[in-house]
Structure 1
Amino acid sequence: MIDLDTLQKRAAHYRERTYRTALSLRLHGPQEAVDFVNERGFVYFWPIKDHDLPNLWYATVGARPVPNNHDDPGHVTWGWKDDLLDKRVWYYAKLIHKKATIVSLAMVPYFYTLSPNYGDYENDYLVQYRNGLMSAEMKNIYEALLKNGPLHTLDLHKQAHMTSSDKKYVFDKTLTDLQAEMKIAPVGIAAAGRWGYAMIYDITARYYPEIVEKARFISEAKAQQTILHSYFRSVGMANVTSIQRMFGWEKTYIQQACDYLAEQDEIIPFPDAQRSNTVYFINDIFHLQ
């Protein structure tokens, strides 16, 4: 009879493969990075404490912390990310938990379905604003991009009328909030400013119209089922609480998605008697030795 401890150890071994932390599986170039994201569906750029998810850093250098020194060989990942921003090979933004996330183009419509966007990017934001669901700063930055097209951060500061030094924190936070709602995304790098480096932003729906079109035909339930299946394929095991911590979904919807995946034999529920809980494992875990 298999026990929970054995399954958890198998899940840890399973993640060595899916996270590519094993030396033989490491990434060595931008195309391998793209293939990794396509394989996993979505990953973090950096490792994020208390949030299990594959990330580009671990897959390139192994499971070690990100150092402060800028000459670490692992920082080659930064160059890959910047060079690929305008290639439309993946979707990069501060998305899950407002942290740097890379999503495959096949998976991103499912995330867009769950965002507060409804297909009319020129007007939807006004409804949000009138309903008190969008700050004035978010509206100003969004309208600057809507009116002027893609802008790097220095020009965006000016066009959004947020140039004073005391506005920097609010500006940066607002950029993150807009990315988390999939309203805007980084789409390139400009040689601008003191350091010759400034992120270029555009409106997600305008830059990636195919994402919006595909999302039209995806229900919220299907989106959650698909994202959750991809998540289980990456991490091997999870419970409702850890899933909620990762995605912020209501527990009722998480349970419904887990029940669906269990009915499809994609995941298997296993009781955690010690915590009066149920842990779900991807089917493959039961076949590992």
Structure 2
Amino acid sequence: MSERFLTLSQLRAARAELNRLHSGRGIHDDAEACRFIRERGFVLLMPIAGIPLPSLSEADEAEAWDGFAITDRAWAWKETLPQQKRCAYTKLIHGRGTFIDWRLYPSFLKVYGPDGDPDYEYENGRLDRNERDLYRLVAESGPVDSRELWAMAKPLFDGKRHRFTAALEHLQSRFFLTVAGGSLEGWTLHTWDLVERQAPPEILTGLPMAAEARSNILRQTIRNCYAVSERKLRSILRWPAPDFQESFQALKNDGAVIEVKVEGENLPWLMLRHQT
């Protein structure tokens, strides 16, 4: 039997609070943006339809662009915050911009990162040749901006920019490459570098075990959604089914989550027992 009942209005209100600092304030400057990312562990750059996670743009007190769900400050933060190494920024959740606090970053690196170097990943079919060679270009020339990198990589991709972009996104999602700042002129321009050169050194030498890393991410994802269905959790995290099921069951066995009945939903949803 479910321990709680949530109306849709209660759920919306609770999720709206997650787009603010713990103090209840919105964010106005770099320091508050970093505090928000630290409090939430990881946040989106801007909202994604159907994904109930906090976003930096929604937390910003400034008005969003007309017709877009992003503010001027959030658009700049994706360059300035990683450039100052105050957090990580990469394309991850549903292939979209995601800020990750350094305290939770080791868990993401363990779960989503590679099992070995690019040659090892290539030999095991988890990177293609062009992705491996693009990594090598950044290793040799980085930090390097997107324009310069494309000029160097163009022959690798037969001049097809969409293949270059897809390779960059895959290397980000596997935690080989990361945004290391960028230009704020016009539509902005990312600077790229290796994760190993951008992440604090202690992160790379102190990764948790896989089970602990998945538990850390799973707990924070539930907290960041306030309440969420198992199906939605699977959609957000996109883990192999055995990994998800093992971590999910462990969390339930620990008593860390409770089932809640949500208005209009047939199956129970989950929330942390001590939701904060």
1:71-117 CA-partner distances (Å, limit 9, x unpaired): x9922221233222211110101012211000000001100001242
Q: TM-score by structure 2 length?
A: 0.85
Identity %: 22
Alignment RMSD (CA, Å):
3.3
Match of 1:67 in 2: 66
Instruction: Say yes or no: does 1:214 pair with 2:213.
Output: no
| Aligned mates of 1:228, 1:92 — CA distance in 2 | 19
> Which of the residues 181, 192, 199 maps onto 1:201?
192
Tell me the secondary structure at the aligned position of residue 179 of structure 2.
Answer: strand
| Aligned mates of 1:107, 1:171 — CA distance in 2 | 29
| Aligned mates of 2:189, 2:19 — CA distance in 1 | 30
CA separation of 1:73 and 1:256: change in aligned 2, threshold 3 A: closer
Match of 1:15 in 2: 15
Unpaired runs of at least 5, structure 1: none
> Which of the residues 122, 133, 141 maps onto 1:129?
122
CA separation of 1:196 and 1:19: change in aligned 2, threshold 3 A: closer
CA separation of 1:95 and 1:135: change in aligned 2, threshold 3 A: same
- Number of corresponding residues: 275
Tell me the secondary structure at the aligned position of residue 43 of structure 2.
Answer: strand
Q: Which amino acid aligns with 1:103?
A: I
Deviation at 1:186, TM superposition (A): 0.9
CA separation of 1:167 and 1:53: change in aligned 2, threshold 3 A: same
Match of 1:81 in 2: 78
- Computing the radius of gyration from Cα coordinates, the structure with the larger value is 1
| Aligned mates of 1:211, 1:248 — CA distance in 2 | 23
Deviates more, 1:256-265 or 1:169-178: 256-265
Deviation at 1:264, TM superposition (A): 3.5
Match of 1:178 in 2: 171
Q: Which amino acid aligns with 2:247?
A: A
Match of 1:41 in 2: 41
CA separation of 1:176 and 1:196: change in aligned 2, threshold 3 A: closer
Matches for 1:92-131 after TM superposition, within 5 Å: 92-118=89-115, 124-131=117-124
Unpaired runs of at least 5, structure 2: none
Higher helix proportion (structure 1 or 2) = 1
CA separation of 1:173 and 1:13: change in aligned 2, threshold 3 A: same
